[in-house]
């Protein structure tokens, strides 16, 4: 109760022209930053509630970012936010506030943190209107930044918005924001599905399901592989199939990345005239077979590996029958 009251008092009073509450506010913020992992610290509800109110003060938001507070929110985002709706709301509100500030934008842009993807995953665990509204507001703020727009394209934000539009919402604000997001993403679909976006994802080894990993994309983009430089991206995809978990990709995220790579390799074999031969020369079917037979592979990865293997065989049959 003390933390709740102090946070709201600071937020509603402000720091004042004469520095009223400034020291107290800064001390309280530092207390929160230092107590993040302490077993005797505030409950996560009180903790995130306090941050949510303190960050409304611009000076405290900047201090929070400077002292790596963003990483505290990130840790909560990938853990507690998937288990507790109130914590998810508090943390998303904090991210929404920070999304207004240029000094925090580089952290939303960071592909290693993948904040946008983790925020979107909350929707898999909760459909409470206040959480959905807050996530939509975050997306609305981030969409105007080119790098954040790429993050939104990587999570297929257009498809996500379409699914949300089809649900009944009591909150009319959600409906309004979803319509605005749909219009914007629909108008920028080419930006979402361009070959340069695909190439950047592959070179960064940051593959996630998005519009650049669809049949529609490959139907028009296979022509780019007449350029030898672009074929190097296919080599990267093959190399991803042999990757092991590391500090960036745990087993689950790596399996998803491999699944996306399998899909792209299958479509490359299916649509590109040189696809099958190129993949055969690099023993791609052997790597696909290894993934299919590996008991540690996820169900999604096994499915995509089998499908890619089949596409390579079908492509071979198609060539022989035409000859």
pLDDT in tens, 155-195: 889 889 999 999 999 999 999 999 999 999 988 877 676 89
pTM recorded for the entire structure: 0.73
DSSP state of 58: H
Position 39 scores a pLDDT of 43
Tell me the two tokens of residue 141. 């703020």
Would the CA dihedral through 175, 180, 186, 190 be positive or negative? negative
Torsion-angle region of 11 (φ positive above 0: left; ψ -120 to 50: alpha; else: beta): alpha
Residues whose CB is less than 8 angstroms from the CB of residue 2 and which lie 6 or more positions away in sequence, other chains included: none
The CA-based angle 182-211-246, given to 5 degrees, is 120
pLDDT at position 308, please? 96
Q: How far apart are the two ends of the chain, measured CA to CA in Å? A: 79
∠ CA(256), CA(258), CA(263), 5° rounding? 95
189-213: pLDDT as tens digits:
776 768 988 998 899 898 888 888 9
Angle, CA 194 vertex, CA 243 and CA 223 arms, to 5°:
85
Query: What ranges do the domains of the chain cover?
Result: 102-192, 195-322
**pLDDT tens for each residue of 111-147:** 888 899 999 999 999 989 999 999 999 999 999 998 8
* pLDDT number for residue 37: 62
Contacts of residue 172, Cβ cutoff 8 Å, sequence gap at least 6: none
CATH architecture label of 195-322: Alpha Horseshoe (1.25)
Which residues of the chain register pLDDT less than 50? 39-40, 315-323
Between the alpha carbon of residue 144 and those of residues 11, 131, 138, 148, the distances in Å are 28, 21, 11, 8
The pLDDT of residue 248 is 58
Give pLDDT, residue 138.
98
User: Could you tell me which of 81, 18, 7, 16 has the C-alpha nearest to residue 44?
Assistant: 81
- CB-CB contact of 141 with 96 (8 Å): yes
């Amino acid at each position: 109760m003390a933390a709740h009251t102090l946070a709201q008092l600071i937020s509603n009073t402000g720091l004042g022209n004469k520095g009223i509450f400034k020291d107290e506010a800064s001390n309280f913020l530092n207390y929160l930053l230092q107590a993040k992992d302490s077993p005797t610290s505030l409950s996560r509800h009180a903790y995130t509630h306090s941050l949510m109110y303190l960050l409304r003060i611009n000076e405290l938001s900047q201090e929070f970012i400077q002292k790596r507070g963003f990483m505290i929110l990130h840790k909560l985002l990938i853990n507690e936010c998937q288990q507790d709706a109130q914590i998810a709301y508090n943390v998303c509100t904090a991210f929404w506030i920070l999304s207004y500030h240029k000094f925090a934008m580089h952290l939303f842009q960071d592909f290693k943190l993948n904040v946008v993807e983790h925020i979107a995953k909350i929707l898999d665990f909760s459909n409470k209107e206040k959480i959905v509204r807050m996530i939509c507001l975050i997306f609305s703020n981030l969409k105007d930044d080119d790098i954040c727009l790429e993050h939104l394209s990587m999570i297929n934000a257009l498809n996500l918005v379409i699914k949300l539009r089809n649900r009944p919402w009591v909150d009319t604000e959600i409906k309004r924001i979803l319509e605005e997001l749909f219009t914007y993403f629909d108008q920028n679909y080419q930006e979402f599905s361009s070959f340069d976006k695909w190439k950047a994802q592959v070179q960064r080894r940051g593959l996630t399901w998005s519009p650049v990993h669809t049949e529609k994309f490959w139907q028009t983009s296979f022509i780019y592989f007449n350029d030898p430089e672009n074929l190097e991206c296919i080599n990267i995809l093959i190399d991803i199939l042999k990757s092991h978990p590391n500090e960036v990709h745990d087993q689950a995220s790596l399996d998803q990345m491999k699944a996306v790579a399998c899909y792209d390799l299958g479509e490359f074999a299916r649509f590109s005239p040189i696809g099958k031969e190129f993949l055969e020369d690099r023993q791609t079917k052997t790597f696909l077979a290894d993934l299919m037979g590996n008991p540690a592979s996820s169900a999604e990865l096994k499915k995509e590996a089998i499908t890619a293997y089949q596409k390579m065989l079908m492509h071979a049959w198609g060539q022989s029958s035409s000859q």
